[in-house]
């Protein structure tokens, strides 16, 4: 059998949609691993043969089939040999819109002519693209719980609706406990990707619609879905996925802030594998909003306490990072503005501003106390009235 190479999956899907193709995946039909090595390809991956092109370094996988052998998304037995067809390979894929292929020699012709007769499309993926429909290729969809999250993410990316039969299948996967096999790390990756999509609110709506929201995102159950959807509507194009994720987490935690102290919040971060940069942003927001302090609110001493608690004297970058989480929380912007004003007034106080006697006699923590005293004098000159109310 003469080997034949196909462009597959997302590259074909995005080509048909007229979207930029970022990554190209290739499937080789009718070849053996040794034949690939003989042509200068480098083999990578332990589960099944994937090869890197000697020049482009793009991935070329041998056509394969998969059979479920266990729970979760690791329990698969893979078969690959020269008799596996491109249709066999496409059958193992999740959605019809991801189960199309173009022969390598036809890719350029398709780009110039849009001749859809060149398309290998055994499951009518092109029709589903035109209809804006997310439909599964086969019942084998249920063998991989990650696919539930991927469907929700594709809805967020393209604004497509979930086919009724697929929605029913996804709900059955939830009730059967398949999502219990998802690792928090994998969920976090899909969550982060979803927050980079144009319609992140659809990620939550799809998961909620199939009963997967609380299972996939345990921290989410403390908030009401409508409120999170409202937050998503306030996202701006300037907000990164990291800032959006932080905003969602903040909303969820606000609903139980009276129950969770800092150590308990850290437990939430650990259990959900929240990345350090996101948890740092969330803690900044929660610290900023928390009004308890050893001094009276709306006094200069309070603002000094807050600035030290937030660590802005040590690291002013996190201050501006926090500002980028605020668009969905406009009621908190005056508070950030007040803190920023306080920081501007007091941030330049340093050891050099102490008296000669203080410099000569003060040691250790006493130096910091003296600097704080100077900061406090500057803060007393500012009017912060009502900044905490709203």
Residues near 193 by Cβ (< 8 Å), separated by ≥ 6?
153, 241
Scored b (16 or more CB within 10 A) or e, 101-113 reads: bbbeebbeebeee
Pick the CATH number of 145-290 from 3.40.30.10, 3.40.50.720, 1.10.3090.10, 1.10.3480.10: 1.10.3090.10
Residue 129 host element (H or E): helix 125-131
Domain range summary for the chain, segments of one domain joined by +: 1-135, 145-290, 293-390
| Backbone φ/ψ region at 115: left (φ over 0), alpha (ψ -120 to 50), beta | beta
pLDDT of residue 194: 96
Instruction: Please give the C-alpha separations between residue 11 and each of 17, 97, 98, 105, 307, in angstroms, as whole numbers.
Output: 10, 11, 9, 15, 49
What sign for the dihedral angle of Cα 167, 172, 174, 175? positive
Q: Residue 293: its pLDDT value, please?
A: 65
Phi then psi for residue 99, to 5 deg, are -115, 45
HEC per residue, 53-99: CCCCCCEEEECCEEEECCCCCCCEEEECCCCCCHHHHHHCCCEHHHC
Question: Nearest Cα to 281, choosing from 221, 186, 349, 195?
Answer: 195
Query: Where do the DSSP E strands lie in the chain?
Result: 4-8, 25-29, 42-44, 50-52, 59-62, 65-68, 76-79, 101-103, 133-134, 161-162
pLDDT at 70: 56
Strand, coil or helix: 211: coil
Q: What's the pLDDT at 388?
A: 47
Residues with pLDDT less than 70, the chain: 1, 46-47, 67-77, 221-223, 256-259, 293, 295-297, 384-390
How far does CA 294 lie from the centroid of its chain? 37
pLDDT of residue 47: 64
| Separation CA 11–CA 9 (nearest Å) | 6
**154 Cβ contact partners less than 8 Å away, ≥ 6 residues apart:** 95, 97, 134, 160
**CATH number assigned to the domain covering 1-135:** 3.30.460.10
- 331 secondary structure, DSSP code: G
Q: Would you state the pLDDT for residue 85?
A: 94
């Amino acid at each position: 059998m003469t080997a034949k190479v196909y462009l597959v999956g997302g590259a074909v899907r995005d080509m048909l949609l007229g979207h930029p193709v970022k990554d190209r995946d290739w499937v080789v039909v009718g070849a053996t691993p040794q034949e690939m090595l003989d042509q200068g390809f480098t083999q990578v991956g332990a589960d099944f043969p994937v090869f890197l092109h000697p020049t482009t370094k793009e991935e070329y996988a041998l056509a394969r089939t998969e059979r479920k052998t266990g729970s979760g998304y690791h329990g698969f037995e893979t078969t690959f040999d020269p008799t596996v067809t491109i249709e066999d390979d496409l059958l193992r894929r999740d959605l019809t819109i991801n189960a199309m292929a173009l022969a390598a020699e036809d890719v350029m012709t398709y780009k110039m002519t849009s001749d859809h007769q060149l398309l290998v499309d055994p499951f009518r993926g092109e029709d589903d693209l035109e209809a804006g429909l997310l439909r599964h290729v086969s019942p084998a969809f249920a063998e991989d719980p990650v696919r539930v999250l991927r469907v929700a993410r594709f809805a967020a990316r393209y604004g497509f609706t979930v086919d009724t039969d697929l929605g029913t299948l996804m709900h059955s996967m939830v009730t059967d406990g398949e999502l219990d096999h998802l690792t928090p790390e994998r969920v976090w990756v899909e969550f982060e990707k979803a927050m980079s999509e144009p319609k992140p609110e659809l990620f939550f709506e799809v998961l909620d619609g199939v009963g997967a929201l609380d299972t996939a995102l345990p921290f989410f159950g403390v908030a009401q879905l409508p409120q999170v959807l409202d937050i998503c509507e306030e996202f701006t194009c300037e907000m990164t996925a990291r800032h959006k994720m932080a905003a969602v987490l903040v909303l969820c935690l606000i609903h139980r802030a009276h129950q969770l102290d800092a150590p308990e919040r850290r437990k939430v971060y650990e259990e959900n594998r929240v990345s350090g940069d996101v948890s740092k942003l969330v803690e900044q927001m929660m610290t900023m909003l928390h009004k308890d302090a050893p001094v009276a609110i709306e006094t200069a001493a309070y603002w000094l306490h807050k600035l030290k608690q937030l660590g802005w004297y040590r690291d002013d970058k996190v201050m501006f990072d926090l500002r980028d989480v605020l668009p969905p929380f406009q009621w908190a912007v005056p508070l950030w503005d007040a803190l920023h004003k306080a920081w501007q007034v007091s941030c330049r106080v340093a050891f050099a501003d102490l008296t000669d006697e203080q410099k000569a006699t003060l040691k250790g923590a006493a130096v910091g106390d003296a600097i704080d005293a100077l900061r406090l004098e500057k803060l007393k000159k500012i009017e912060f009235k009502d900044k905490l109310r709203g």
